[in-house]
Amino acid sequence: MALLVALTCVVLFALRALLNFDVSGATYGLIAWLRDDINVSTGCMVLVIATAVATPLMLSTTPINIGAGAVYGVMLGTFVTLVGHVAGAWICYVWSRWWARDWIARKMRSSETLTALNHALAKGGAGIVMLSRLSPLFPFAMCSFCFGACNVGTWDYLMGTTVGLAPSTLMLSWVGVTIQSYSRKGATQEGHSAADYRRLWGVILLTVASSVLLGWRVKAVIKAQAREAERSGLVIGTAGVGGTP
């Protein structure tokens, strides 16, 4: 089992190294391909699969999210990317729970943040999963693997993941729509005014600032709940507990 886990990790990190790419270039390339070369249904299916595969490989899905919003609009872009993220998170959860639970549980004990997250689960499964998804300070794929080793139920995990991811997914789709509108206007003779530049950078800075502030607050809440769980004697274990996915 240890050899299988080690080989799996080697393969994942090797694939990640091979697939490193320029984020901005990949985003614009994806937008052009989705807009010009394939129909909507095929494009949506490709985006769902790409997001689901990229998540357990710990690859950035930001270009996919922004590209989906730019081509398909805020609502459809958000829906497609959210489905892909939940599918990818489910892959991490099942893999961890069935094949690497003990190993991941040991690794979690070496991380203060992940240990606090695990302890906070004693106060409520779906709510803590949702809070962790809201915060960029909790790495998405890593937390997905860790939840598989924790005593959190399947329904709580999927519900918390879906609700917690929705705001950030919606925001990135909105960024994609803004970039697409900005690019389309630049292709005409109108050009860009100073207000256009301020609006574009305002959207980007607002996205970054809100993510950082929300992440800081969520992390503080989770650590506070973890301390309360410890005082109440509700701290849960990891390996060897919980039901099957």
Q: How far apart are CA 188 and CA 237, in angstroms?
A: 60
Q: Which residues of 86-122 are buried (b: 16+ CB within 10 A; e: fewer)?
A: bebbbbbbebbbeebbebbbeebeeeebbbbbbbbbb
Cα four-point dihedral sign 46, 52, 57, 58: positive
Q: How far apart are CA 188 and CA 181, in angstroms?
A: 11
pTM: 0.68
- Across 156-160, 206-210, 241-245, least confident range: 241-245
39 pLDDT band, cuts 50/70/90, is confident
The whole-number average pLDDT for the span 201-205 is: 64
Average pLDDT, the chain: 72
Max Cα–Cα distance, the chain, nearest Å: 67
